[in-house]
Each structure stands twice: as structure tokens, then as C-alpha cells.
């Protein structure tokens, strides 16, 4: 009898695991909206992303939670507005700072999936704190390969260089130093393939967190040469970077197919924010991206900063070739993942996203959200489900009102014509903002200035003299 019960338990567990979908989220970094084929690009080759989009669901109004990297990823990984826990700027890279990262009280949706029986992995960029407390393996992930800061050189590691933001620091595999060979994006893609190979027997969640096409604009010469017809050198390199990322996406999909798990795997592709654009006639900060047809770019609350490529593909459940038109946001990815994986989105601090499955299948009608909200310092934005958007952007200096379905470039300000509508949206934003706290992090530039000033003051005057030899009594005591 005991043997039969044990056998029944094992079979039941196997069936239960088989029913759980695998989940793969692929996120690009600083990518322009127009820079995939499925969003309109005519000069970058993205056949693998285009195929996923054609055979899945494209969210035509897909949004990131913030117009730049760290806060957007903090919201994504928790499924909660990052303003609820004061993560409103990019944290500096400082492995010694145990306060500079994702609030310890926040539960990542990777942790919720772990509790539901998933093996979890993140590959690539972290940017949610570089001290031990914030390490991915301490925040719900079973496996990590990548870098803890906000970016990295695509070809080299140089441990003799100044640390600064860690762009030349070594990579990390789990909690051990690691490196990479060749081109970084390709190395990350291949590691993602290996993760699939290693975990194909049980349900898994894999976050492929590319830093591509974030600066520096680097790609192998032979790949750049394939875009020789593009006149601008920065755009050429950018196109090659996105092309290589798309090839990596293809390798990950092939690994899912080769291991017989493709049909029951939800694959989501999006970006953390829009591509950086020229400002004040200067192109130095531009990374070669195009956010057409939208206004603005990284750092803006205009759609160019937050309206991103966003699509999902799940052969077993999602319709093929669907264009979903209501606004959705990156918060929804984690909530969808947790609910389809059998996890609990409400324990601890409840998730704020929406499970998109019943909406894309037509089981639920109407919009998933009455409104979406953004905040960045003194700037703010609210987007209603009908496409009416009220905001104050860093470049506008004053509030504006747009109706996006008829004005995607946000060029026709309706504020004077519809003041009551603007007032209602502003009231909704203020109600949402009541649940927020002030940003508790310094931006990385301000942080480095303060840290450098601290150490400058800590150096004894005697040590600045030529020929000085440090004495034990001169060492700095905190």
C-alpha cells in the first residue's frame, strides 16, 4: 500500500510539474521602439523576434515602468511600482554599500515562483544593488551569470582599471568570479541556452537580462560591416548589436524546441525603457536608436521614453498573430508569471500588476488597467485606458494633455481645450501617489561625488606631501 501511495505521489508531482509552464523573459536595454521588425524597423534584421511576434501577441501599447534602467527593473522584478519603496534612480556600483539596492522587504516574483516549485535563473545585467544582500541568489534566484552593475564593456575585462561603475569588472557566476570569451551578448545567450539544457526536466523561470544595446556601442567588425550601407557610424554599430541579440534569441528558442519544452513555455520580450535620443542638438548621449514615431527618449515621460517593444508568445495558450491594443505595463509580466505558475501574488506586499492571460485569450473584456502611472522627481505622467495622457515632462516645463490614438507624437496639446479631463487625471495620479515614498537612493553621479569628497577629506594632510610614507597613526579610522 505504501509503495502504491509513493508511486501515486511521484506521478502526481510529475503531472503537476508538467502542467506548469516554463517562463522566459528577455529584456533589452535602452532599445528604441522602432528597432525591431515587428515594430517597424526596415534596417535592422530581427527575424527571430519577428517570428515570435507573428506567432504570438504584440502589445501595441506596452510600457516600461520608468524612463531609465534601474527603477524600471526594480518595478519589473517585484511586480510593484518602484515608488512604493523609494527606488527612483539608478544605484551606483558599490559592493561595499549595504543600503544601495532593492529594499530587503520587497519580494521578487522570482522568489514567488521559487515557492511555487520553480528553478529560477537570471543571466546578464542586474543593476539592483551590488552588495551581498542584494545579490540575485539572495533575492529569489537559484542561478546567476552576469554583472551586478548597470553596464559592461562588450569585449573585455580589465581589473587594473578604475572600478567606477564596474564596466570593466569581472563577471559573476553564482557567487564566484567569472569571465567571458568573445562578445558579451553572445556569451550571455549561450549561457541562457545552457540553463535551458540543465533545467529542462522541471519548470523554470529564466530572466535573460541583456545590456544590449546599452552603451558602449560595440560589436564585432564583421557584424558592423553587414550594415555598411548605413551612413552614421553609431547607428551601424547599434544595428549590429541588436542583430546579434536577435541571433541569441533564436538560439534560446531553438534550445526550447530541441528539448521538447517550447509549446508550454511563455516567452516575453520587452525593453527596460526607450532609446536615448539627442538633446539640445547634441548627439553625444545618443546610442543610435530610433523611437519613431514617438516623442523623446530615455529620461522622458513622453512615449519615446517609456513606450517599448512588448510581445509574448506561448504556443499552448496564447492566440497567434494577435495585436492587443489596451495599455499594459512591465508590472504585468511578473503578475502573469506568478499566477500561471501557481504562485501567490498577494503574500507579503501584494503585486500590483495584472495577469494578462485572460485578457489576451478574450476571457476578460475591457482594459486591464483604468490608468497607468509614472513619477520621476518633480515630473509625472498618467495614461488612461482610452489613451488620454496627462503629464509634466522634464522637457515640457508645464503640464500637457494628449490623446495618443490620434496623436502618437504628442504634438497637439489639448490641455486648454479639456481642462476638466486633465483635472480628473491629475486627481487620479495624486490618489496613486499617496501610496508612494520619497526616493531613498542617490543617483550614481551624485553618489560618486559625495563618496569621493568623503575620502578626500579622510586623507590626512601629511599624506599629500611628496615622499610621504604612511604611518599606522595616520590611517583613517571610521
User: Which of the residues are catalytic?
Assistant: 69, 127
* Of 207, 210, 162, 164, nearest in space to 183 by CA: 210
Torsion over CA: 58, 60, 64, 65 (sign): negative
d(CA 358, CA 266): 14
Q: Which is nearest to 115 in space by CA: 205, 39, 192?
A: 205
> Residue 406's closest CA among 426, 421, 389?
389
Give CA 14 to chain center in angstroms.
Answer: 33
C-alpha cell at 221: 567588425
Residues 6 or more apart in contact with residue 31 via CB below 8 angstroms: 213, 242, 271, 274, 275, 289, 308, 309
How many Cβ atoms from other residues are within 10 Å of residue 451's Cβ?
A: 15
In what helix (H) or strand (E) does residue 280 lie, and over which residues does it extend? none
10 Å CB burial of residue 186 (0-12, 13-18, 19+) is buried
The three cell numbers locating residue 278: 539627442
Which cell goes with 371? 490608468
Helix axes 233-258, 184-199, angle to 10 degrees: 10
C-alpha–C-alpha distance, residues 206 and 122, integer Å: 6
The C-alpha atoms of residue 205 and residue 163 are separated, in whole angstroms, by 32
| DSSP H/E element including 191 | helix 184-199
Q: Which helix (H) or strand (E) holds 18?
A: helix 2-19
Q: Distances from the Cα of 180 to the Cαs of 142, 156, 432, in angstroms? A: 20, 8, 44
Q: Cα(31)–Cα(245) distance, rounded to whole angstroms?
A: 11
| Cβ pair 44, 243 in contact under 8 A | yes
Strands (E), 190-241: 204-209
Amino acid at each position: 500500500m505504501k509503495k502504491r501511495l509513493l508511486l501515486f505521489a511521484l506521478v502526481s508531482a510529475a503531472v503537476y510539474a508538467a502542467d506548469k509552464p516554463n517562463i522566459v523573459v528577455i529584456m533589452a536595454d535602452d532599445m528604441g521602439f522602432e528597432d525591431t521588425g515587428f515594430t517597424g524597423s526596415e534596417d535592422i534584421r530581427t527575424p527571430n523576434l519577428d517570428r515570435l511576434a507573428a506567432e504570438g501577441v504584440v502589445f501595441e501599447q506596452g510600457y516600461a515602468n520608468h524612463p531609465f534602467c534601474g527603477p524600471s527593473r526594480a518595478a519589473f522584478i517585484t511586480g510593484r511600482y518602484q515608488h512604493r519603496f523609494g527606488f527612483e534612480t539608478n544605484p551606483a556600483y558599490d559592493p561595499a554599500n549595504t543600503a544601495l539596492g532593492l529594499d530587503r522587504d520587497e519580494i521578487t516574483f522570482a522568489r514567488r515562483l521559487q515557492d511555487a516549485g520553480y528553478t529560477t535563473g537570471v543571466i546578464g545585467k542586474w543593476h539592483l544593488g551590488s552588495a551581498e544582500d542584494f545579490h540575485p541568489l539572495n533575492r529569489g534566484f537559484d542561478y546567476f551569470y552576469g554583472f551586478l552593475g548597470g553596464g559592461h564593456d562588450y569585449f573585455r575585462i580589465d581589473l587594473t582599471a578604475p572600478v567606477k561603475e564596474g564596466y570593466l569588472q569581472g563577471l559573476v557566476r553564482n557567487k564566484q568570479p567569472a569571465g567571458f570569451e568573445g562578445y558579451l551578448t553572445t556569451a550571455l545567450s549561450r549561457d541562457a541556452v545552457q540553463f535551458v539544457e540543465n533545467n529542462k526536466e522541471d519548470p523554470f523561470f529564466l530572466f535573460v537580462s541583456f545590456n544590449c544595446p546599452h552603451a558602449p556601442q560595440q560589436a564585432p567588425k564583421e557584424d558592423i560591416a553587414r550594415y555598411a550601407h548605413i551612413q552614421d557610424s553609431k547607428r551601424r554599430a547599434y544595428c549590429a548589436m541588436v542583430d546579434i541579440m536577435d541571433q541569441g534569441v533564436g538560439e534560446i528558442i531553438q534550445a526550447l524546441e530541441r528539448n521538447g519544452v517550447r509549446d508550454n513555455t511563455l516567452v516575453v520580450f520587452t525593453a527596460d525603457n526607450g532609446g536615448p535620443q539627442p538633446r539640445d542638438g547634441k548627439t553625444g548621449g545618443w546610442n543610435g536608436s530610433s523611437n519613431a514615431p514617438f516623442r523623446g527618449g530615455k529620461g522622458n515621460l513622453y512615449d519615446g521614453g517609456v513606450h517599448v517593444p512588448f510581445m509574448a508568445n506561448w504556443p499552448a495558450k496564447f492566440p497567434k498573430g494577435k495585436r492587443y491594443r489596451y495599455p499594459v505595463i512591465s508590472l504585468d509580466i511578473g503578475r502573469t508569471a506568478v499566477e500561471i505558475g501557481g504562485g501567490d501574488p498577494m503574500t507579503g506586499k501584494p503585486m500590483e500588476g495584472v495577469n494578462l492571460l485572460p485578457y489576451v485569450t478574450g476571457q476578460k473584456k475591457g482594459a486591464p488597467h483604468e490608468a497607468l502611472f509614472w513619477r520621476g522627481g518633480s515630473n509625472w505622467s498618467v495614461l488612461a485606458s482610452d489613451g488620454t495622457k496627462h503629464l509634466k515632462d522634464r522637457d515640457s516645463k508645464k503640464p500637457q494633455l494628449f490623446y495618443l490614438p490620434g496623436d502618437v507624437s504628442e504634438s497637439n496639446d489639448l490641455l486648454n481645450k479639456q481642462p476638466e479631463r486633465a483635472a480628473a487625471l491629475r486627481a487620479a495620479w495624486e490618489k496613486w501617489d499617496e501610496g508612494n515614498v520619497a526616493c531613498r537612493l542617490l543617483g550614481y553621479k551624485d553618489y560618486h561625488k559625495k563618496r569621493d569628497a568623503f575620502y578626500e577629506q579622510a586623507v590626512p594632510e601629511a599624506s599629500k606631501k611628496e615622499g610621504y610614507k604612511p604611518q599606522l597613526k595616520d590611517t583613517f579610522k571610521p
